[in-house]
Structure 1
Amino acid sequence: MDVSVVIPTCNRPELATRAVHSALSQTHRDLEVIVVIDGPDDDTVLALKEIGDERLRVLVLPERGKAPNARNQGVKAAEGRYVALLDDDDEWMPAKIETQLALAARATKASPIVATRMINRTPRADSVMPRRLPGPGEPLSEYLTVRRGLFYGDGFIQTSTIMAPTELLRRVPFTVGLRRQQELDWTLRALQHEDVELLYAPEALVLWHQDENRDRISLHNPWEEQLAWLRSSRDLFTPRAYAAVTMSVISSMAAPTRDPKVFRELLSEARAPGRPGALDYVTFLQIWALPPNVRHRVRDLVVGRKNADA
């Protein structure tokens, strides 16, 4: 078997079945789909039984452990050479796996991480991410974190775009307990190994649904937890990337507190081990000045217009 698709889910049978159908509809047919149900969930089990495809397997965990643990359990059960990750609220374009396998076959290292571009769909606009692919010799921690615009970054990686050798995902499991930046954390840790490289398919082959009428991990704001993670992971980032994460990602989580002490703490963190650029300072100030809903609307307007002009 070429590919095992791993889909973690819990209490979202409609979304899970949509994700499964997009995986089973791939042009590359030699795959299995492993849905890892994160704790008892009879409704999802029943919904998946109705699909009736022998390539589908369902693994029900005895208790909830959240998405990183569910992915790790799915990887342990995988029988394919590669694992392709798919969040239950996302969808794949039909040629995604075929395209990624072709790219993996041309890899220069034994353990390629193969990602793709994606369509970021919000209630207001569609945009393609990442906006550009990594440049030759560009530090990947900077590519994935440093912004070139006030409301968006150029580099990006998201869980549902990732395909990697099963052996690599077992060697480098997802960090259990980390609520945000799970794919960034995993990618940068995996890239510490000499046999690993990051490749991108230039096509947008994933549909990332950013629905705002339901709970999503990306709507949670555990800024203190994320700052502790960043500090413990400092060796994964260049000083420039470290400052960018502090002043954009973590500041976006912390800004709703409107706490001057938090403002000063993050500014100091970015400047001490980090090395901010001019745009990082401007980004930092607009994040703290504008309410989140205003920033999101302006971002979608700016990014949507830039994509239309591209």
Structure 2
Amino acid sequence: MKNEPLVSVIIPTYNRKNTILASVNSVLNQTYKNIELIVVDDCSTDDTEKTVKSIDDSRIKYIKLEKNSGACVARNKGIEISRGEFIAFNDSDDLWLPEKINSQLDFLYENNAEISFCKMECRTPENNFIHNFPNIEFDRKISYKDLLKYNSASTQTIFGKTDCFKEIIFDATMPRLQDWDEVLRLSQKFSVFYQNKILVHTFFQKDSISTHPEKGVLAMEMLFEKHKDAILSDPAIVESFFKKKASFVCKTGKNPKEEMKMILKYNPSAGTFIKYMLAVFNLYTLFFKIKNSL
């Protein structure tokens, strides 16, 4: 690549002394070398700071927040001080494949895109394979309505022009699904493309925010208020959106009667009627648990 613009990589971290080194090294060992790596420490109380500062590489910039404020605040701080023409994100417990930046930058140029995201391989902390995400099997442009229907972009897969992220920062009030919210808002103004290539390995930690389904319910409610008109304009989006919310409701142990009622109202069918009746008689959550235990 003749033109090698500076790429700013932002890693928010909190108490990840056991995983941050591998995450940082997966960025520093990229085949693309013109990077700055901004590690934003959200007031860790373990040896995360010591671990990061032990790495001898002039491309690293370590910032520690004055108080624990959440990953979105940390990412936004990184965006604020970034100097690169492009920005990418990693999490402090995930790994990039060596060609990630080169591949995503080439893909962005080839498609004249402003934002892109790739596929990732999901694994347990013990490094056992779970599945690949998202389930999209070819490169293509992703619309705002596509993203409303299918939450397909995870933060550590997102790459794009810095100006986009400086204009549309992460919403720190979101309790969960911040990446979905960010890409939805980006897609309303900028061109977003999906690259069907695994460039990230992500690891589900036991203390992850994803283990708190009540936060998922609240996040879905917030997303609905932000995008209500667009969601209700398409029955397929209504069904997809409220099925996702229903899964969070089930994980809290409650029955998703109101979610099934919304689906039935906007996309009536024999199938949606049966699901609604299961919820009415408090059986939907039971079947959900059985299905997800198989």
1:1-310 pair list within 5 angstroms: 1-41=5-45, 43-109=47-113, 112-122=114-124, 125-133=129-137, 139-142=143-146, 145-146=149-150, 156-193=152-189, 196-211=190-205, 214-221=206-213, 222-233=215-226, 234-235=228-229, 237=231, 239=234, 240-248=236-244, 250-260=245-255, 263-272=256-265, 274-275=266-267, 288-290=285-287, 292=289, 295-296=291-292, 298=294
Identity value in percent: 27
Q: Which of 235-244 and 216-225 deviates more?
A: 235-244
One-letter code aligned to 1:120:
C
SS at match of 2:77: helix
Aligned length: 279
Relative CO higher for 1 or 2, CA cutoff 8 Å, sep ≥ 6?
1
Does the 8 Å contact 2:121/2:202 carry over to 1? yes
Task: Give the TM-score, by structure 2 length.
Answer: 0.84
Residue 164 of structure 1 and its aligned partner are, at CA, apart by 1.3
One-letter code aligned to 2:166:
R
Residue 10 of structure 1 and its aligned partner are, at CA, apart by 0.7
Does the 8 Å contact 1:25/1:94 carry over to 2? yes
Residue 39 of structure 1 and its aligned partner are, at CA, apart by 2.0
Mapped to 2, the partners of 1:229 and 1:269 lie a distance apart of 16
Task: Give the TM-score, by structure 1 length.
Answer: 0.80
Does the 8 Å contact 1:115/1:162 carry over to 2? yes
One-letter code aligned to 1:117:
K
Q: Which residue of 2 aligns with 1:302?
A: none
**Structure 1 residues 191, 257: closer, same or farther in 2, change over 3 A?**
closer
Cα deviation per residue 1:89-147 (whole Å; 9 max; x = unaligned)? 111000000001111112335xx11111111113663322222247878754335635x
Residue 200 of structure 1 and its aligned partner are, at CA, apart by 2.3
Unmatched runs of 5 consecutive residues or more in structure 1: 147-154, 299-310
**Structure 1 residues 104, 138: closer, same or farther in 2, change over 3 A?**
closer
**Structure 1 residues 179, 283: closer, same or farther in 2, change over 3 A?**
farther
> Aligned Cα RMSD in Å?
2.8
Unmatched runs of 5 consecutive residues or more in structure 2: none
**Structure 1 residues 39, 282: closer, same or farther in 2, change over 3 A?**
farther
Residue 295 of structure 1 and its aligned partner are, at CA, apart by 4.8
Does the 8 Å contact 2:260/2:272 carry over to 1? no
